[in-house]
Amino acid sequence: DAGVIQSPRHEVTEMGQEVTLRCKPISGHDYLFWYRQTMMRGLELLIYFNNNVPIDDSGMPEDRFSAKMPNASFSTLKIQPSEPRDSAVYFCASSPNTGSTQPQHFGDGTRLSIL
Amino acid sequence: SQQGEEDPQALSIQEGENATMNCSYKTSINNLQWYRQNSGRGLVHLILIRSNEREKHSGRLRVTLDTSKKSSSLLITASRAADTASYFCATVLSGNTPLVFGKGTRLSVIA
């Protein structure tokens, strides 16, 4: 299997611009997770989906962040407008379940820099 | 707040030595998992230990779990330079809830 695929790997943009991060989960995995990783806060869960439906978005920092999963093979995380404090590495992960009995599989992340 | 806290935050050892990392958590768990993250890459699952297990092995990895102390340890024996990475513990609370990750231990293995 190809694993979880994220794009782009790196994104540099100016403050105020819209940013869209993309994720293709592993086929057959019912759960998809979006995380943000920073030195200060570590790995934070932003939102997760089960069968394309958002289950918990309590980790989304504010209304500038939104996530969609239009089908089982694609998800996006959008930031509009972007701010310098959004600079971080964003990971997508997928799993057959939440992690209660099966591990999560991570993509290699998108390194986002907002100038 | 973090459920799992790894200790130490950073560890530097010589190749061939053993590396031990610890994880403490706050509430009852369903299982505990360890992940590795190489620089610039995503997390990779290493091992899962259930709450009713006390020890588990996988190659050069040994994980222990002490639910009475709410702690786990990851031992890497005969370390190699390729083991240089950050190591995270992650816990699953009771029920079908998502993983909660600690902040990790940065391991440097010097050749």
Q: Which residues of chain B does A104 touch, with a Cβ-Cβ cutoff of 8 Å?
A: 43, 45, 99
pLDDT at B3: 66
Q: Concatenate the DSSP letters of all residues of B22-78 into one string.
A: EEEESS--SEEEEEEE-TTS-EEEEEEEETT--EEEETTEEEEEETTTTEEEEEE-S
- Per-residue pLDDT, averaged over B26-40, amounts to 92
The verdict on a CB contact (< 8 Å) between A98 and B30 is: no
Best residue in B35, B45, B105 to probe A by mutation, most A CBs within 10 Å? B45
For chain A, say whether B103 makes contact (Cβ under 8 Å).
yes
| A77 and A46 Cβ atoms separated by less than 8 Å | yes
Confidence of residue A6 (pLDDT cuts 50, 70, 90): very high
Distance (Å, rounded) from C-alpha A115 to C-alpha B28? 42
Distance (Å, rounded) from C-alpha A99 to C-alpha B3? 15
Q: What percent of chain B has pLDDT over 70?
A: 95
Of B94 and B57, more confident: B57
Q: Are strands B55-58 and B43-50 parallel, antiparallel or unpaired?
A: unpaired
Which chain A residue shows the shortest CA-CA distance from B93? A100
Q: Is the pLDDT of residue B63 over 60?
A: yes
| B52 and B68 Cβ atoms separated by less than 8 Å | no
Q: How far is A71 from chain B (nearest CA, A)?
A: 21
For chain B, say whether A48 makes contact (Cβ under 8 Å).
yes
Two tokens, residue B45? 């699952």
Q: Cα dihedral angle (A100, B5, B10, B64), rounded to 10 degrees?
A: -60
Q: Which residues of chain B does A42 touch, with a Cβ-Cβ cutoff of 8 Å?
A: 2, 101-104
Q: Are strands B71-76 and B19-25 parallel, antiparallel or unpaired?
A: antiparallel
- β-bridge mates for residue A54, sequence order: A49
The verdict on a CB contact (< 8 Å) between A100 and B95 is: yes
Which of B78, B75, B86 is closest to B108 using CA atoms? B86
The verdict on a CB contact (< 8 Å) between B96 and A104 is: no
CB nearest B98 (choices: A91, A98, A106): A98
Q: Which residues of chain A does B103 touch, with a Cβ-Cβ cutoff of 8 Å?
A: 42-43
- Model confidence pLDDT, tens digit, residues A10-63: 999 999 999 999 999 999 999 999 999 999 999 999 999 999 999 999 999 889
Of B97 and B32, more confident: B32
Stated as kind and residue range, the H or E segment containing A45 is strand A42-50
